[in-house]
Structure 1
Amino acid sequence: MVYGVPGLLVFKCTGTIRSRPRTSARVFFDHDITYTVRTFCVSRQCQSGHNKWSKIRHDKGKKDANKANSFSKLSEQITEYTKRYGADPKMNGRLKLLLDQAKKSGMSGTSMDNAVKRGQGLSISGKPLETVNIEGMTQEGVSFIVECVTDNKLRTLQDVRLIINKAGGKLTPVSYLFVKHPYMHLTGPEDLSPENQMAALEDPVLTLSIEYVGLLPGETSTWEARVEYSEPPMQLVEDMQKMLPEGWSVTKTGLKYYPSEHVQVEDESEAGDAFRNFVEKLEDCPDVSEIYSNLRWSSYEPPKHEIVLTE
């Protein structure tokens, strides 16, 4: 029988309980025993995953992830426009707009300063930065190039080598398996369909002889334009910006390694999981800026929206 008041549960058990005392005599007693148990909470029980805090936690996690992604893109753009037009917002109108946008979105002043410093080729401490490329191959035969930007070359080499060794990889020259090309990221209005965006890009792409333009995987309005020059053609970037339709802009430029041949790996396989873990470890290294590989997942599908310039 169970009865009680909120916060207090009383269990009453009526019956015969035979107990044997610590004597040689065989004596038995009959008892009516009442157990009283005080609980710590009087609220209604909720199943796990269905309470209010659980919903708030999941919603907050999604918002935080979106916010971090937004900050990352803003940081990249601040660094990019600092490289191209200088670190003085008074002389760099685009940089001033980006800094104002970052401030309104809640980005910290330290993060904005660090993004500007990277654009100036300086580390957070103010020391000059240098680029270090580390080449190697995994156990599965996937070639990779790890591009690092650091103010301490020896420290970075040691950290990255340790990650490669733990993953079972080896350091070996593989740059001959890649082709280095300049690229531009072109971002257009999100309310346009990919087909209309591609139509808007045809004229500047053909006029400037851009060899390839394709919609980036997972993106809806950002395209990557690849050119065949050996160095970043800043004049070409400026010409592209002038020729782009209204609402379009060049959001990123740089040099990228494109594989000349690919190694296919099954998505759901031990080799695939091992490579994902390897890349995650590299991305956790603060000095690693880019990771290039010739891996192609078995589920890969060619881009549906692209412009290829043929002779």
Structure 2
Amino acid sequence: MGRGPSIEGRKNAEDAKRAKVFTKLIREITVATRAGVADPAGNPRLRAAVDKALSANMTKDTIERAIKRGSGADGGADMQELRYEGYGPAGIALIIDCVTDNPVRTVADVRHALTKHGGNLGTSGSVAFQFSRCGELVFETAGDAEQEEKILEAALEAGADDVVNEAGESSVLCAPESFEAVQQALAAAGLKPARADVVMRPANRVAIPAEAQETLLDLIDWLEELDDVHEIYHNAAVTAGIHP
């Protein structure tokens, strides 16, 4: 009779997943520090990265080491930000933001992932025009009209630009420079988002054929497994298992 995964096996898998998340967070902290100042109080991007790291239960010592590396006080590799644009299965537009110390490796890994899943790497600007940069705070409402109304009122009071209700979620949208203020105002109103960040949001979403959905999911999983990949944005319509 077969047995399921051992407790040790599950723990090792969880540890590996956690380590990968930490790798991405450390790189974001490092780059955010280099892009501004080493003090989170005076560097909004760094403050957001530190908040994410703390939410993921990263120790303060690890966070401080990443900040030191970014400030140049602790050596460290020369991390840089790169953005790749391309197409996935069924012509879905993709923006893939990376943080890397080896661009040659990163572009090869991203190109391989796209090609393997029926997509291709595009040139700079080939799909970016279909997206806009904005602050996005997503709340899980499950179609609760009363909750949706509460979020709408609080968001407009906080200075948000719009609230979009779809697939059981309410997405509060605002200008990138207003993101922190809107986030704080919503928190003061007792509203905690499931996720919140400054993102690249598509102007329109396109339906993806059922037969291509699994391939797209596999592509996104493949890209997320790459240490260098920081964020992935796509314009596929929200379907089961595929996050916006």
TM bucket, shorter chain: 0.5 to 0.7
- How much has 1:113 moved relative to structure 2? 4.5
**1 CA distance for matches of 2:18 and 2:97?**
22
**CA deviation map 1:92-147 (0-9, x unaligned):** 9x89x9699679x5x456753476579x588x963453322211223532222211
Say whether the 8 Å CA contact 1:201–1:244 is kept in structure 2. Answer: no
- How much has 1:180 moved relative to structure 2? 1.0
**1 CA distance for matches of 2:83 and 2:42?**
33
- How much has 1:201 moved relative to structure 2? 2.7
- How much has 1:148 moved relative to structure 2? 1.2
Say whether the 8 Å CA contact 2:158–2:186 is kept in structure 1. Answer: no
Equivalent residue in structure 2 for 1:112, among 21, 46, 63? 63
Matched, 1:136 2:86: yes
Query: Which residue pairs with 1:282 in the alignment?
Result: 223
Give the AA of the match of 1:57: I
Give the AA of the match of 2:112: L
Give the AA of the match of 2:131: V
Say whether the 8 Å CA contact 2:151–2:191 is kept in structure 1. Answer: no
**1 CA distance for matches of 2:186 and 2:171?**
16
- How much has 1:57 moved relative to structure 2? 2.8
Query: Which residue pairs with 2:127 in the alignment?
Result: 174
**2 CA distance for matches of 1:174 and 1:101?**
33
Query: Which residue pairs with 1:226 in the alignment?
Result: 173
Say whether the 8 Å CA contact 1:265–1:272 is kept in structure 2. Answer: yes
**1 CA distance for matches of 2:220 and 2:53?**
34
- How much has 1:274 moved relative to structure 2? 2.4
Larger Cα Rg: Structure 1 or Structure 2?
Answer: 1
Matched, 1:150 2:100: yes
Distance 1:239-1:294 versus aligned 2 partners, 3 A rule: closer
Say whether the 8 Å CA contact 2:162–2:173 is kept in structure 1. Answer: yes
Alignment of 1:191-202 (within 5 A): 195=145, 197-202=147-152
Say whether the 8 Å CA contact 2:159–2:182 is kept in structure 1. Answer: no
Equivalent residue in structure 1 for 2:214, among 269, 273, 282? 273
- How much has 1:255 moved relative to structure 2? 3.0
Say whether the 8 Å CA contact 1:214–1:224 is kept in structure 2. Answer: yes
Q: Which has the higher contact order (CA 8 A, sep 6+)?
A: 2
**1 CA distance for matches of 2:136 and 2:54?**
22
Structure 1, unpaired ranges of 5+? 1-46, 301-311
Give the AA of the match of 1:158: A
**2 CA distance for matches of 1:259 and 1:239?**
21
- How much has 1:207 moved relative to structure 2? 2.9
- How much has 1:284 moved relative to structure 2? 1.6
Give the number of aligned pairs: 225
SS of 1:140's partner is: helix
What is the Cα-based RMSD across aligned positions, in Å? 5.0
Report the TM-score when normalising by structure 2.
Answer: 0.63
| Bigger share in strand | 1
- How much has 1:262 moved relative to structure 2? 0.7
- How much has 1:240 moved relative to structure 2? 5.0
**2 CA distance for matches of 1:293 and 1:242?**
29
**2 CA distance for matches of 1:115 and 1:186?**
28
Structure 2, unpaired ranges of 5+? none
Say whether the 8 Å CA contact 1:141–1:263 is kept in structure 2. Answer: no
Distance 1:275-1:110 versus aligned 2 partners, 3 A rule: farther
| Bigger share in helix | 2
Say whether the 8 Å CA contact 1:185–1:252 is kept in structure 2. Answer: yes
**CA deviation map 1:64-118 (0-9, x unaligned):** 48x949x77xx59x95xx77996547999x89x9699679x5x456753476579
SS of 2:160's partner is: coil
Distance 1:263-1:214 versus aligned 2 partners, 3 A rule: closer
Equivalent residue in structure 2 for 1:264, among 202, 208, 218? 208
Say whether the 8 Å CA contact 1:142–1:263 is kept in structure 2. Answer: no
Query: Which residue pairs with 2:184 in the alignment?
Result: 241
